[in-house]
Amino acid sequence: MTYPDAVRCSCVPVVVVLLVLVLACVFASARTLEQDLQGMRSPDPRVRVASAKRLGVCGDESACTRAAQALERALFDPEPVVRRVSVNALAELGARAATGSILKLLKLETEPQVIAAALVAVGRLRASSAMRVLVHYASDPRVGVRAAAITGAGDLGGPAARRLIANSLQMAGSEDAEWVVRAAALLALARAGKPEDLAAARRAYVAGRGDRYWLARTAWARVVTALDPSPRVELERLMEDPDSRVGVTAAIGLAKVGQQALVIRHLRNSQPRVRAAAIGAVRQGRLEAAYPQLRTIARYDGSRRVRWAAIVALFAVQDRDGDELMLDALRSDEPAIWTEAMAHLAERTRSMHGRDVKAWRRALAQHRKEQR
C-alpha cells in the first residue's frame, strides 16, 4: 500500500504554513558571520531580526563571543521584536556574560513579550542573581509574564525556585482561567522539583480541574514522569488522551522511565490514539527494536492517522522505507498530502524539487552521502 492509499489529511492550513517556513530556510541566501554582524546595524528592523536569529547559532568560540556582543547591544534596540529575538538568541548561545544586560533590560522594558523572553532567558542562563526579579514578575497581572517568570524559575532551580513554583500552583482559578500559569508551574516542577513535591502538585491539579485543559494534562504527564516513583499506570492512562500532544508526551515519559518494551507493546493497542502515541515515543526515543513494526504499520494499519504517524516517524529516523513512502506521497492527487510530504523532504535535504520524485530521490541519496 502506498502513501496516497495510506492516509488522508485535512490540515491544509497547517501544512501550508510548515512549507512556507521550510522554504524560507531552504532558499535563504548563505550568510557569513560578518554579514550578520553588519546586518545588526541595518536601518531595516526585519534585517536586524533575521541577523539576530542567525547569530544565535554560531560556530567556534571566537564567533560566539562576537555574536553575543552584537546581540547584547541589540537588547536596547528601538524595536521590541529585535530586543525579543536578541534575548532569545543570547539564551541559545548560553551567553552568561550578558546576564547583567538582560537584568538591566528588565528594569526598563515595558513590552510584555520582551519581558517574558528576558525572564525565560535569565533562567536558562542560570543567573542566580535573577531570583528576586523572577519572584517580582511571578505576581505580574499579565498571564504570559507570570508564566515566563515561573518557567525561568524552573530552569534556575534551587529551594527558592521550588517555593515560587509551589506558590504559583495554589493560585485561584480566576487568576489563571486557562491554566496557563499553573501549567507552566507544573512544567517547571518537572525540571526543578523533587519527589516530595508530587503530592502537593497532584492536589493542585485535581482541585483546579487541570484535566480540562490539554496543556495542563501534558504538563502533568511531565511531572509524573519526573517525580512519581511508580508512574506506569498514570502514564498509560494519559496515553489514551484524545489530544495527541498529551498522549505522545505520556508515551515518551514511559520510555524515559525504562518502559520501552511496554511502549512497543502499545503499538498493537486496540485504540488508534494509543498506537499513534506509542509511535511518537518510538520516534523520539529512536527505539530501533520497533522499526520493523513501524514499517508494517505504515502500510497496513487500519487508521490513516496511525499510518501517517508511522511514515513520519520512519522518515524522521531516516529509514529507507520511510523515505520511499514519503516519496510516494508526492504522487497523491490531494494537495494536503503532497504538500506535507514536500515540506518534510525540503526540511531534511535543504532543497526544493516540486513533485519530481526522481529529483527528490537523488537529493535524499546525496544527503545520506553527506551524513556519512
Do both 23 and 40 map to the same domain?
A: no
Q: Classify residue 339: in a domain, yes or no.
A: yes
Please give the Cα distance from 233 to 282 (Å, whole number): 19
Q: For residue range 193-210, list pLDDT tens digits in order.
A: 999 999 999 999 999 999
pLDDT score at 30: 46
Q: For residue range 111-156, list pLDDT tens digits in order.
A: 999 999 999 999 999 988 999 999 999 999 999 999 999 999 999 9
Do both 299 and 333 map to the same domain?
A: no
Q: Which is nearest to 305 in space by CA: 284, 279, 328? A: 279
Do both 253 and 271 map to the same domain?
A: yes
Do both 19 and 102 map to the same domain?
A: no
pLDDT score at 15: 54
pLDDT confidence tier of residue 332, bands split at 50, 70 and 90:
confident
Do both 217 and 242 map to the same domain?
A: no
Q: Classify residue 6: in a domain, yes or no.
A: no
Q: Classify residue 66: in a domain, yes or no.
A: yes
pLDDT score at 3: 38
Q: Classify residue 293: in a domain, yes or no.
A: yes
Domain that includes residue 66, residue range: 35-109
- Supply the CATH number for residue 97's domain: 1.25.10.10
Q: What is the 3-state composition of the chain as percent helix, strand, coil, each rounded to the nearest 5?
A: 75, 0, 25
Least confident of 59-63, 111-115, 122-126, 239-243: 59-63
- Supply the CATH number for residue 272's domain: 1.25.10
pLDDT score at 217: 98
Q: Classify residue 198: in a domain, yes or no.
A: yes
Average the pLDDT over 46-73 and give the result. 93
pLDDT score at 22: 53
Do both 94 and 147 map to the same domain?
A: no
Domain boundary among 269, 297, 316: 316
Average the pLDDT over 211-240 and give the result. 98
**Cell numbers 522539583: residue:** 193
pLDDT confidence tier of residue 371, bands split at 50, 70 and 90:
confident
Do both 355 and 304 map to the same domain?
A: no
Q: Which is nearest to 122 in space by CA: 98, 144, 145, 138? A: 98
Do both 283 and 247 map to the same domain?
A: yes
Contact in structure between 241 and 250 (CB atoms under 8 Å): yes
Do both 181 and 101 map to the same domain?
A: no
Q: Classify residue 199: in a domain, yes or no.
A: yes
Number of domains in the chain: 4
Q: For residue range 153-171, list pLDDT tens digits in order.
A: 999 999 999 999 999 998 7
C-alpha distances in Å from residue 90, one per residue of 52, 56, 70, 204: 9, 6, 10, 34
pLDDT confidence tier of residue 31, bands split at 50, 70 and 90:
low
Q: For residue range 295-329, list pLDDT tens digits in order.
A: 999 999 999 999 999 999 999 999 999 999 999 99
Percent of all residues in the chain with a pLDDT value above 70, rounded to a whole number? 92
Please give the Cα distance from 98 to 342 (Å, whole number): 40
Do both 154 and 216 map to the same domain?
A: yes
Would the pLDDT of 249 be above 50?
A: yes
Do both 130 and 221 map to the same domain?
A: yes
Q: Classify residue 5: in a domain, yes or no.
A: no
Domain boundary among 209, 227, 245: 227
Please give the Cα distance from 20 to 37 (Å, whole number): 26
Average the pLDDT over 3-25 and give the result. 47
Instruction: Quickly count: other Cβ atoms within 10 Å of residue 17's Cβ.
Output: 12
Would the pLDDT of 236 be above 60?
A: yes
Do both 302 and 337 map to the same domain?
A: no
Q: Classify residue 119: in a domain, yes or no.
A: no
pLDDT higher for 61 or 253?
A: 253
Domain boundary among 78, 109, 140: 109
Average pLDDT, the chain: 91
